[in-house]
Structure 1
Amino acid sequence: MITREQIPTVLDHPVYDAEGSKVGDAKHVFYDDATGQPEWVIVKTGLFGTNESFVPMRDAHMVEDHLEVSVTKDRISDAPNVDVGSGGHLSPDEEHRLYEHYGIAWDEAWQQANDPEQGGWASTDPEAAAAGMGTMRAGQPGDDAMTRSEEEMHVGAERQTVGRARLRKYVVTEEQQQTIPVRHEEVRVVREPITDANIDDALSGPEISEEEHEVILHAERPVVETRVEPVERVRLVTDEVIEEETVTGTVRKERIETDYEDDDEGRRG
């Protein structure tokens, strides 16, 4: 069992469950008004420590730099939410709920609180003793000072997948037009008069005869040929962009007020 002398080593230290899994950090310790012994520890749980869970300190013990409790993480996560109120005490009904959740018999707890050999106090009034077990306070018994606490908002960022980008290559067909010059041959008749220069060629054949001459015509036509040429390289890269986002949350803060009462009778006496 954790003693009062060990409480400074418990606060703000990790808390592990019965299976060795970390639950959170210990923030407050509540004492039993009857026995003065540590009875409950408030553990900050959740991603940013925004949740508070009451965990019984029965059979808990310190191991090096952390506290080990006798209940599992799942049981702690499902613990009922209770409000200790401005006085920092648990009501009997709220403590009943916690005892039932953790499977602790109320009669057994009451008997231990009233057993002097277990560090309890003897009482002949079971209802009064039960009420004593149901009210607990933070801080050392007999301390004349209050501890004022505040919640601090801690904002962090978690990395998560928001989308996917991929490259996909596919083939499309498109028409292209180009204009090129093409050549072709055409026939025309050339008539020459007989001159001294061509008289011999003109009289080389028979005087009267039949002849036939043939000319082969040529023409060019467009020819389309495609060749594959690399034009560019494409790849995906990611750029990190930092944006400012405003996060709003609520925190609780304790306030301490001082009330003065005039004791006129005491002054007159």
Structure 2
Amino acid sequence: MITREQIPTILHRPVYDTDGNKIGDAKHVFIDDATTQPDWVSIKTGLFGTSESFAPISDASLVEGYLEVPYTKDTVKDAPKVDVDAGGHLSGEEEHRLYEHYGIDWDAAWQRANQPQPGPGREARGTDDAMTRSEEQMHVGTERYEAGRARLRKYVVTEEVQQTVPVRHEEVRVEREPITDANRDAATAGPDISEGEHEVTLHAERPVTQTETEPVERVRLTTDEQTEQETVTGKVRKEKIEADVPDEDDKRRR
């Protein structure tokens, strides 16, 4: 049985069914007005916890940091959806539908809830002349949600790069030299009068480019967790007791 003192331990903890399947995370715990004991737990289910289902908590148990309810995952997820009012209460009709879904006897549960509940520091109602004053307490927790996404995207751009490189080429130049004793034999080696031609191949250089890929940088995304203080405002109900006592003038007139 889950007690009120265990509520902070339950909130935002995983909830499992009887077969060890995770149903979701505990979001809210609802207190029975008559017994002042935990009665229902709302469980965030579905993708990213977008849905909320209700399950009885009276027979649940806290096991090694998670809550185990005596129902299957499908039973909890198929429970009737209810709209909790601003005061954090289930209406009688909504609670009745939930009892029917989980096969709990509504009349027996209602009678049991409205019986006097003795406890430490609290006498059963009707056994003395005192009146018990009760009030609600608000338990505040946190839930994690998706606030946005950041991504790395790699794309290719083309830039124009200029470099200056020397290139060489050959040019033809006609050289004439007079006949001397040193070159006379070579000059008279051929026929006296003839026709002929001599060809020289000219060479030149031109720039060529070649590219190769080299890694230059590693980029990654990291997240830093920041803690901020936020003030949470809620509404809780409390009972007040006023005494209607006759004054002295009324006593004298009697």
* TM-score, scaled relative to structure 2: 0.49
* TM-score, scaled relative to structure 1: 0.47
Kindly name which structure, 1 or 2, has the bigger radius of gyration based on alpha carbons: 1
